Amino acid sequence: MENASDTSAVFVSTISKEHDILIGSVYSIFCILSLMGNCILLLVAYHKRSTLKPAEFFIINLSISDLGMALSLFPLAIPSAFSHRWLFGRLACQLYAMCGVLFGLCSLTNLTALSLVCCIKVCFPNHGNRFSSSHARLLVVGVWCYASVFAVGPLLQWGHYSPEPYGTACCIDWHAPNHELSALSYIVCLFVFCYALPCTIILLSYTFILLTVWGSRQAVQQHVSPQTKTTNAHILIVKLSVAVCVGFLGAWTPYAAVAMWAAFGDATQVPPAAFALAAVLAKSSTIYNPMVYLLCKPKFRECLRRDTSMLRQRIYRGSPQSNPKEQFRSSSQRNKDMGISMHFSNGQQESYVVCQHCPENAVLCHVTTPQRTASILTGSTYREVTVNQLSAKPHAEFL
């Protein structure tokens, strides 16, 4: 797993063993919550894929990037934290750092695109109504391409990846700008185009949305138009998007601040524990998106309840403990409730009911409908006929 060059001091933890164990435990919790939440959200989105709005494509893409971060980072970070050193060598360190940058920037760029789409739909509805699912898919592809440029850059010697200052994880080499021009240009571009610019766009987009909603609130209340329900749906998506953005930026801002301190200040003055704490907060961003949407969006909750109910029914039907007689009885009751019947061409009815004396594998038995009869007295004898065979003329000889 390691070679001689990987046993250097940069791969040894610089914080206490107790703090590493605490970080490993917190990462384990984050990993479980992220996998469960994002998998459930993607499953619900798959079941309601035919009714997804274009803006919700970005929520799905955000779950994919969060899931990718959880699958690529936590399995390496957790054992390293518990072992008090990085365990997986330099190559894995490079790939770990690249995945962290790729999925992190993809999430931030995705939220930026989502804020723009919400702004166009709410503030400029004439243009927003033209935004379709194909436009959303094209933007999603653009989000991944944009993030890939900055993720692949250090692998092509534009910037560098290296172990984190606390030793048990890897990311961008924040110390390199102090002595290398290419690394400095990479950090500057990363800060401007992957943090400052996206945050500015997000802030301005939701500010315009807030002003537009406040300005039109009275008009909507006084003149309810057919577009009111559509507007309300857009406002709900905006509220949830704001919640996701606030959670994501709140998680990543401490790490960005510490990184800029190390890149443009005195790197030796940055405590390793500050980097470790900021990294923990940044990785918590993977659990906010599913929590917000599964807990706060009614249609997602309704679809989740329906899927859970169907799963419970399938598990119950396939359970070996289920009583065959109970299944037979419930099936028979459903057939009776549905009122299964057939009418022949002569108008008579053929009924199907449950027969208690039939074999258990025969759910329905054929029962002939009882016929009403009448007795007609003719002289000293009488004969029996069915009621429907009588003519409309009254018979005085009825017995």
Same domain, 329 and 377: no
Give 166-206 as a DSSP string.
Answer: TSSSEEE-TTGGGT-HHHHHHHHHHHIIIIIHHHHHHHHHH
Is residue 318 domain-resident?
no
Same domain, 149 and 210: yes
Is residue 268 domain-resident?
yes
Q: What is the pLDDT of residue 374?
A: 59
Same domain, 235 and 342: no
Q: What is the pLDDT of residue 91?
A: 92
Cβ atoms within 10 Å of 263's Cβ, excluding its own:
23
CATH of the domain at 274: 1.20.1070.10
Same domain, 202 and 336: no
In tens digits, the chain (399 residues) has pLDDT values of: 444 444 567 788 889 999 999 999 999 999 999 999 899 888 888 888 888 888 889 989 999 999 999 999 999 999 999 999 999 989 999 999 999 999 999 999 999 998 898 888 888 888 878 888 899 999 999 999 999 999 999 999 898 999 988 889 999 988 887 778 888 899 999 999 999 999 999 989 888 888 887 776 656 555 555 454 545 666 776 777 788 888 888 889 999 899 888 888 877 788 889 999 999 999 998 888 787 777 666 666 666 667 667 666 767 776 555 555 445 454 554 444 444 333 433 444 444 444 444 444 444 444 444 556 655 555 555 566 565 555 554 444 443
Using CA atoms, how far residue 168 sits from 19, 76, 113, 321, 353, in Å, is 11, 9, 33, 49, 71
State whether residue 319 is helix, strand or coil.
coil
Is residue 316 domain-resident?
no
Strands 365-368 and 373-378, bridge-based pairing: unpaired
Task: Count the domains in the chain.
Answer: 3
Is residue 277 domain-resident?
yes
Last residue of a domain, one of 266, 284, 311: 311
Is residue 259 domain-resident?
yes
Q: What is the pLDDT of residue 379?
A: 53
Q: What is the pLDDT of residue 232?
A: 61
Domain limits for position 345: 324-368
Is residue 153 domain-resident?
yes
CA 144, 243, 54, 193 dihedral sign is: negative
CA-to-CA distance for 78 and 252, rounded, in angstroms?
20
End-to-end CA distance of the chain: 103
Same domain, 338 and 263: no
Is residue 317 domain-resident?
no
Same domain, 270 and 172: yes
Same domain, 14 and 46: yes
Q: What is the pLDDT of residue 6?
A: 47
* Those residues with Cβ within 8 angstroms of residue 102's Cβ, 6 or more apart along the chain or in another chain: 68, 147, 148, 151
Residue given tokens 């990294």 in the structure block: 279
142 Cα distance to chain centroid: 21
